[in-house]
Amino acid sequence: MARFIIRRILQMVGVVFILSLLVFLWLRSLPGGTVSAILGERATPATRAALSQAFGLDQPVWVQYLKFLQRAAQGEFGVSTGVLPGTDAFDVFLSRLPATVELSVAALVIAVVLAIPLGYVSAKRANSPLDSGLVIVSLIGVAVPVFFLAFLLKYQLSVEHHLFPVSGRQDNLGCTRVTNFFVLDGLLTRELDCSASALKHLVLPSVALATIPFAVIYRITRASVLEVLGEDYVRTAESKGLTARVVRGRHVMRNALLPVVTTIGLQTGGLLAGAVLTERVFGFGGIGDALAVAFERRDYAVLQVLILAAAGIYVIINLLVDISYAVIDPRVRTR
Amino acid sequence: MTLKRTAPLVLLTVAAMSMTACAQSERDSGGTGSGGTSSTKDTFTFGAAGAPKLFDPLYATDGETFRVTRQIHSGLLGVKPGTADIQPELAESWTPSDDGLSWTFKLRQGVKFSDGTPFNAEAVCYNMQRMFEQKGAGQQAAEYWTYFFGSFSDKPADSLYKSCEAKDENTAVIDITRSTSSFPTILSLDSFSMQSPTALKAGDANNVQAQGEGFTYPAYSKAPVGIGPYKLDKYDEANKTVTLVANDAYYGDKPKTAKLVFKIIPDESTRRQELQAGSIDGYDLPNPVDWKGLEDAGNKVLVRPAFNILYMGLNPEKNPKLKDLRVRQAIAYALNRDQMVKTQLPEGATVASQFMPETVSGYNKDLKPYPYDPAKAKSLLAAAGATGMTLQFAFPTEVSRPYMPDPQKIHAAFVKDLEAAGFKVDVVSKPWNGGYLDGVSNGQFDAWLLGWTGDYNAADNFLGTFFSNLEQNDFHTKVLPFGKTLSEDLKKADAIVDEGQRDAAYQKINQQIAEEYLPGVPISHSPPALVISGKVTGLVASPLTAETFDGVSVGK
């Protein structure tokens, strides 16, 4: 097990390293750049040259890359020029991460809590009207683009009916920040109105973001449970006179959940992509929001950190999925 | 992996609850009672398109940053609300010596910075020297100083600023190296606001460092101390909100709302929806397409006087056919600017006859725009032997500027006009910050659309920006016969101390540019707007987009 994990971690480092080179080269091959983003109409060739030199952007790309690696080895990822000028890019990432995690976790909880029970019920009553209805709902969930749904929810429930806030993460209540997880911070500092406000702001974006993972997890659960229900050992368990609860828990779900766990893991990675769009619609100041601003303003340092961090998170989630496999299914360990 | 596996989550929550004993709430209870009466709210919330980069205006370069710093800082000179004209602010009067090189400022008395530091002549000189003595990365960061004063203390010969002397408590004398129409007007710019010497020293204000591919800023840039109706209370980066509160040490009237909040909402349609939902009280630059809808919904669209210019730039160095005045005039006659302004620009926009709006001193009222005359364009082109010439004509994507709401549509209309007059147009488009601005300044396009919003009321801020620097300007006038003359005339005019004579000189230059030179084609002036909810009163729109919010009331 340990060897398996170490090998995977080494692979991970390799992937992120190669990606860092690709991202670095790609960003610098884009037309425009940090300097014109900062200077705008005021740019003269002289001011442009002076600023490029100050930022070290006038040197050959490979020199810039080597310097970047050298700094990265010391844990320095450069300084933001556009998102939060003067702030260390990694700190920008850390300060924006909680928003995205809060949103993704909320969406994932909504998706999983609804999808697994509904998937099980669907499989138990396959081809009943309830089952068909749920399948259609899940199809719609996959088909509708996230940002379209986000926009629709926002327009109907916030703009037209004022049920929820239009955008942002919290009302301006002067809340104390501890971890930047707003819901948690409110609990920590006993500013419960802050938590409530944060939750209220979370509802629409997380519902919008939950639709796709919900649909996918539901379908996989349904298919997987259907398959397991037909297995001999389930029939054996039932005929032994075990209670329905034990059969469901120990025999059906434990086996049926394997592919579901994989799917949840993969969907978590996909959530990041969806979060970028959702955050944009709801002005939810997380990673997605920072990515968009960083791209507009050609904030190289922040873009590099965000893209690499996103890749890193994706790879780590994959690793966790594999490990959880090993935990759930002993056969994996011996391979 | 049964549901029991969620236990850690539950545990975490419980742990969090039990830790509440350790985490102290730092909140003050509620807002202060000042500002806002029983019929008005005590907070004005404005939807900003971007976050302020920092709060020390010397290192600021963008409108979103200045919008915030303007509320917490004042300069020696201010701008009269609703106009582009200067008025006394921290200085009550300013008197030039006969040669225009030495200026005596009489200061307002009994003024304090928000930290209690007294404002006096010494503070003025401390500020001027502090800006002048920027070093290293600070010089690049102090973009506006470079732009308006030329250089720093390490190259005093190129600097407009020379020295500052505190004659007595309330008299400061500032010496400059050459006479220019821009001084002391430029002291009204936000970048050159007066800041507390005590706080500047304590916060190590000049400590800007280049690091990696950016600059790091000192502590002071997050904790500014100025003289303004408001002071910074909190910039909540995580929630993208900037909160300002009334500055009790301010010498002027108390602001009408005790709190001023900037909520950062990058997406324009979201800003509109927030206004509809009532969670913000106003935002800047609503899309002209939405003006009517916004007003129908009970909001007020405040149209600012146009203080900008959109022009079509031409580069005779890239395309030598443009060296012929007849070809450039053909372009001017070919463009149906009346129709473009009517169909594409907001109400109140006008066709431009010269490279500056009419509110700027030195504007020539007698000039008429080139009329739309495709036949004349054709015959001029034929006379120049350039019929069917290819003109590469660029426009920017992914941008909307106050003077150019929809670049692509404006461009498309002009392409039709040019083709009808016998040009072959080679259309190029580049993202605004993805090669377009670079392309213009590197001379990659034959023709392009660009514009300028004035910083203050001086012809030099428009004409000087475009044509003063002979060696480096977007129009490449160095390859045109008049380039040198124009550049010299502009510098001479700028140095005239007497305002009447100076205006006359500029009027003559405007006439020459329009009739004899035509280095590019001035297109239009477009009034930018801001929108506020129907409950908001007391907001005066500024042509410089430099609104102050202390006089704003929000009804309940």
Q: Is residue B17 within 8 angstroms of chain A, CB to CB?
A: yes
More confident residue, A90 or A40: A90
CB B222 within 8 A of CB B233: no
Q: How many CA atoms lie within 13 A of A123 on its CB side?
A: 23
Share of chain B above pLDDT 70, in %: 93
A234 Cα to chain B: minimum distance (Å): 17
* 3-class secondary structure, B15: helix
Q: Kindly report the backbone phi and psi dihedral angles of residue B555, in degrees, each rounded to the nearest multiple of 5, phi listed first.
A: -75, 155
Give the separation between CA A213 and CA A260, rounded to whole angstroms: 11
Q: Which residues of A fall within a CB distance of 8 Å from B221?
A: 86
Confidence class for position B20, pLDDT limits 50, 70, 90: very low
A23 Cα to chain B: minimum distance (Å): 15
Whether residue B156 is found in the same domain as residue B256: no
Q: How open is the CA angle A271-A277-A282, to the nearest 5 degrees?
A: 110
Look at residue B23 and tell me whether its pLDDT is greater than 70. no
Record: contact B1-A249, CB cut-off 8 A = no
Q: Which residues of A fall within a CB distance of 8 Å from B2?
A: 249, 253-254
CB A142 within 8 A of CB A215: yes
Whether residue B383 is found in the same domain as residue B236: no
Burial track A102-134 (b if 16+ CB lie within 10 A, e otherwise): bbbbbbbebbbeebbebbbbbbbeeeeeebeeb
Whether residue B312 is found in the same domain as residue B402: yes
According to the model, what pLDDT value does residue B171 have?
Answer: 97
Look at residue B236 and tell me whether its pLDDT is greater than 70. yes
Q: Is residue B438 within 8 angstroms of chain A, CB to CB?
A: yes
Min mean pLDDT across B36-50, B190-204, B417-431 is at B36-50
Confidence class for position B13, pLDDT limits 50, 70, 90: very low
In a domain, B143, yes or no: yes
Record: contact A189-B276, CB cut-off 8 A = no
Here the tokens at position A237 are 């368990």
Here the tokens at position A267 are 């969907």
CATH code of B245's domain: 3.40.190.10
Q: Kindly report the backbone phi and psi dihedral angles of residue A93, in degrees, each rounded to the nearest multiple of 5, phi listed first.
A: -60, -50
In a domain, B88, yes or no: yes
Look at residue A273 and tell me whether its pLDDT is greater than 80. no
Instruction: List residues bridging with B430 in a β-sheet.
Output: B396
Average of per-residue pLDDT across A256-272: 82
Whether residue B419 is found in the same domain as residue B282: no
Give, as one character, the DSSP assignment of residue B206: T
According to the model, what pLDDT value does residue A298 have?
Answer: 86
How many other C-beta atoms can be found within 10 angstroms of the C-beta atom of residue B1? 14
Q: Which residues of A fall within a CB distance of 8 Å from B470?
A: none
Confidence class for position B399, pLDDT limits 50, 70, 90: confident
In a domain, B66, yes or no: no
Q: Which residues of A fall within a CB distance of 8 Å from B263?
A: 168, 172
Range of the domain at B402: 308-525
pLDDT in tens, B269-302: 889 999 999 999 999 989 888 999 999 999 999 9
Which among A132, A276, A125, A139 has a CA at the least distance from the CA of A214?
A139
Confidence class for position B14, pLDDT limits 50, 70, 90: very low
Distance from the first to the final alpha carbon of chain A: 10
* 3-class secondary structure, B523: strand
Record: contact A176-B45, CB cut-off 8 A = no
A39 Cα to chain B: minimum distance (Å): 7
In A, minimum Cα distance to B399 occurs at A296
CATH code of B487's domain: 3.10.105.10
Record: contact A174-B234, CB cut-off 8 A = yes
Q: Is residue B441 within 8 angstroms of chain A, CB to CB?
A: yes
Record: contact B214-A78, CB cut-off 8 A = yes
B212 Cα to chain A: minimum distance (Å): 5
Nearest by CB to B238, which of A76, A95, A162? A95
Q: How open is the CA angle A28-B207-B214, to the nearest 5 degrees?
A: 5
Q: What stretch of H or E contains B242?
A: strand B241-246
Q: Which residues of B fall within a CB distance of 8 Å from A180?
A: 238
Q: Look up residue B234 and give its amino acid.
A: K
Confidence class for position B37, pLDDT limits 50, 70, 90: low
**B:202-241 residues touching chain A, CB 8 A cutoff:** 210-217, 221, 234, 236-241
Look at residue B507 and tell me whether its pLDDT is greater than 70. yes
Look at residue B179 and tell me whether its pLDDT is greater than 50. yes
Angstrom CA distances, B294 to B273, B342, B384, B499, stand at 10, 20, 50, 42
Spell out the residues 6+ positions from residue B328 whose beta carbon is closer than 8 angstroms to its own. Answer: B314, B322, B518, B519, B520, B521
According to the model, what pLDDT value does residue B35 have?
Answer: 54
- Enter the pTM of the model: 0.87
Share of chain B above pLDDT 90, in %: 81
A301 Cα to chain B: minimum distance (Å): 7
Whether residue B157 is found in the same domain as residue B110: yes
β-pairing, B171-176 vs B102-107, is: antiparallel
Record: contact A254-B450, CB cut-off 8 A = no
Helix axes A192-229, A89-124, angle to 10 degrees: 40
Record: contact B437-A168, CB cut-off 8 A = no
According to the model, what pLDDT value does residue B57 have?
Answer: 97
* 3-class secondary structure, B314: strand
Greatest alpha-carbon pair distance for chain B in Å reads 89
Instruction: List residues bridging with A88 in a β-sheet.
Output: A79
pLDDT in tens, B256-268: 999 999 999 988 8
Architecture of domain A96-288+308-332: Orthogonal Bundle (1.10)
Spell out the SS3 assignment of B244-301: EEECCCCCCCCCCCCEEEEEECCCHHHHHHHHHHCCCCEEECCCHHHHHHHHHCCCEE
Here the tokens at position A306 are 């965000």
Q: How open is the CA angle B111-B112-B114, to the nearest 5 degrees?
A: 140
CB A301 within 8 A of CB A238: no
Spell out the residues 6+ positions from residue B221 whose beta carbon is closer than 8 angstroms to its own. Answer: A86, B54, B55, B56, B59, B203, B205
Give, as one character, the DSSP assignment of residue B401: B
Whether residue B272 is found in the same domain as residue B199: no
Whether residue B252 is found in the same domain as residue B323: no
Instruction: List residues bridging with B77 in a β-sheet.
Output: B88
Q: What is the mean pLDDT of chain A?
A: 86
Q: Is residue B29 within 8 angstroms of chain A, CB to CB?
A: no
Which among B406, B275, B281 has a CA at the least distance from the CA of A159?
B275
Give the separation between CA A209 and CA A288, rounded to whole angstroms: 13
Average of per-residue pLDDT across A92-101: 91
Record: contact B437-A176, CB cut-off 8 A = no
Record: contact A174-B28, CB cut-off 8 A = yes
Spell out the residues 6+ positions from residue B79 whose beta carbon is closer than 8 angstroms to its own. Answer: B85, B86, B87, B188, B456, B542, B544, B546
According to the model, what pLDDT value does residue B11 have?
Answer: 44
In B, minimum Cα distance to A253 occurs at B2
β-pairing, B350-351 vs B520-525, is: antiparallel
Spell out the residues 6+ positions from residue A252 whose beta carbon is closer than 8 angstroms to its own. Answer: A120, A225, A228, A229, A234
Here the tokens at position B336 are 């149906």
B544 Cα to chain A: minimum distance (Å): 16
A181 Cα to chain B: minimum distance (Å): 9
pLDDT in tens, A208-233: 999 989 999 999 999 999 988 888 88
Nearest by CB to B277, which of A34, A162, A184? A162
Whether residue B535 is found in the same domain as residue B503: no
Q: Which residues of B fall within a CB distance of 8 Å from A153?
A: none
In B, minimum Cα distance to A94 occurs at B238
How many other C-beta atoms can be found within 10 angstroms of the C-beta atom of residue B197? 22
Q: Is residue B318 within 8 angstroms of chain A, CB to CB?
A: no
Q: Which residues of A fall within a CB distance of 8 Å from B20?
A: 187-190
Nearest by CB to A189, which of B25, B211, B441? B25
Here the tokens at position A74 are 């010391």
Confidence class for position B479, pLDDT limits 50, 70, 90: very high
Q: Which residues of B fall within a CB distance of 8 Å from A24?
A: none
- Please count the structural domains in chain B: 3
Q: What stretch of H or E contains A307?
A: helix A300-328
Mutation site, B239, B245, B453, interface A, largest A CB count within 10 A: B239
pLDDT in tens, B300-324: 999 999 999 999 999 999 999 999 9
Q: Is residue B435 within 8 angstroms of chain A, CB to CB?
A: yes
Instruction: Outline where A230-286 has alpha helix (H).
Output: 232-239, 244-246, 254-282
Record: contact B214-A44, CB cut-off 8 A = no
Look at residue B7 and tell me whether its pLDDT is greater than 80. no
Q: What is the mean pLDDT of chain B?
A: 91
Q: Is residue B433 within 8 angstroms of chain A, CB to CB?
A: yes
Helix axes A300-328, A2-29, angle to 10 degrees: 160
Here the tokens at position B346 are 């907001």
Backbone region of residue A193 per phi and psi (left: phi > 0; alpha: psi in -120 to 50; beta: other values): alpha
Whether residue B335 is found in the same domain as residue B274: no
In A, minimum Cα distance to B433 occurs at A32
Min mean pLDDT across B142-146, B211-215, B460-464 is at B211-215
Whether residue B428 is found in the same domain as residue B502: yes
Here the tokens at position A333 are 């360990």
Q: Is residue B137 within 8 angstroms of chain A, CB to CB?
A: yes
CATH code of B193's domain: 3.90.76.10
Q: B215, B246, B266: which is the final residue of a domain?
A: B215
* DSSP-assigned letters across all residues of B434-445: IIIHHHHHTT--
Q: Is residue B274 within 8 angstroms of chain A, CB to CB?
A: yes
In a domain, B13, yes or no: no
Q: Which residues of B fall within a CB distance of 8 Å from A169?
A: 238-240
Helix axes A300-328, A89-124, angle to 10 degrees: 40
Burial grade of B289 (CB within 10 A; 0-12, 13-18, 19 or more)? exposed
Give the separation between CA A154 and CA A164, rounded to whole angstroms: 8
* 3-class secondary structure, A239: helix
- Residue position matching structure tokens 């509109």: B272
In a domain, B220, yes or no: no
Domain ranges within chain A, ordered by starting residue: 96-288+308-332
Confidence class for position B97, pLDDT limits 50, 70, 90: very high
Whether residue B500 is found in the same domain as residue B399: yes
B17 Cα to chain A: minimum distance (Å): 6
According to the model, what pLDDT value does residue B106 have?
Answer: 98
Share of chain A above pLDDT 90, in %: 29
Angstrom CA distances, B172 to A116, B77, B90, B178, B183, stand at 76, 13, 12, 19, 15
